[in-house]
Amino acid sequence: MNPQPSHIPVTPELEADALRWLSRLHDQPDAADQLAFSRWLQADPAHAQAYAQAQVLWELTESPAAQLAVEDVDALNALLRAMDTPRRSRVPRWSAGLAMAACLLLAISIGLGWQPQRWLDDMGATYVSAPGQVRSVMLADESQVTLDADSAIGVDFSHGERHVTLRRGAAFFHVTHTGEPFLVDAHDGQVKVLGTQFEVRLQPVGAQVTVLSGRVGVTAAGQPQRVLTDGQRVAYDDHGTGDSQTVDSENQLAWRGGWLNYYKSPLADVISDLSRYYPGRIVVFNDELGKKRVSGSFPSADPQAVLAALKTVVGFDQYTLLGRVIVLR
């Protein structure tokens, strides 16, 4: 079922109005609110269509959106603490019933695509790449770093060591040897450079390290260092370091040339990567859909075309909200 029939146009502004009304009517409206809503609803057939669409979206996304809203609120709290700004009132804790409207109204009021966690990451970053931008930078020691889209790193060359912190996304490193240690920190783990070319990528939980050439040592969760060489990959989280795997590292690192390559990868992982190249949000609101496996090579420069290809192969419903939020189910 498509909640937005083509014969009645619904603009992003009208979508926003409908979501605001939906939020007000779920929050103990008084008689004046109910009368104003009735007048708004009858003023234009497009208003009724927009409100019906908002109701369908609410029903589709109510439960999983709660987690999304909580994540944004947690990030907003952390951002406020980092900015050391006096808080006049407690940041609200959204209920599951208002989760989706809360997230979307936050995006409307502050700016589409705005996410507190991104601001928090960027505050401590030295170099940042925007969504859709793959950026290469040269560090003070002439080492080269290529940031994947929507990524951020902090750099600290002091006290006889070269430290880089991966704050968001992924980065590919081509390290120049100077005699000083080169260390990359990511999610409570550390990568020590013993060779030259490798990638570190943050995961929903933990991080993943892929070596193109040379050697690196990976230390996490208080475990002994794991040494990786050409074409090897390892992932780690708070519980420890997994087994190393042999991979086609050139193929896996093709994002540097504008391609995203996958072989029997969960759709949720593919969408997570693709979201870095879309100037908004792409969200999978269906666990079973997210588990479906995908293989293929996709151009990162055109997320909409990739979604169209995936829709043909995998099969899912797609809804676009406010021109910037894409919901898959």
For the entire predicted model, the pTM comes to: 0.71
Please identify, among 219, 249, 279, the residue that sits at the C-terminal boundary of a domain: 249
Structure tokens at 97: 């019933």
**pLDDT tens profile 63-120:** 445 555 555 555 555 555 555 544 444 344 444 444 444 444 444 433 344 455 566 6
Query: What CATH number has the domain bearing residue 306?
Result: 3.55.50.30
Least confident of 32-46, 82-96, 243-257: 82-96
When divided into structural domains, the chain yields a total of: 3
Structure tokens at 108: 């409307």
Please identify, among 65, 85, 120, the residue that sits at the C-terminal boundary of a domain: 120
Domain match, 33 and 92 both? yes
Phi-psi region of 146 (alpha: psi -120 to 50; beta: other; left: phi over 0): beta
Query: What does the pLDDT read at residue 278?
Result: 92
Say if residues 191 and 200 touch (Cβ distance below 8 Å): yes
Does 19 reside within a domain?
Answer: yes
Domain match, 148 and 224 both? yes
- Domain containing 20 equals 12-120
Q: Which residues of 75-88 are buried (b: 16+ CB within 10 A; e: fewer)?
A: bbeebeeeeeeeee
Give the β-pairing of 325-328 and 281-284: parallel
Domain match, 243 and 275 both? no
Say if residues 153 and 171 touch (Cβ distance below 8 Å): yes
Q: Which contacts qualify for 308-316: CB closer than 8 Å, 24 or more apart?
A: 310/267, 310/270, 314/267, 314/289, 316/286, 316/289
**pLDDT tens profile 126-162:** 999 999 999 999 999 999 999 999 999 999 999 889 9
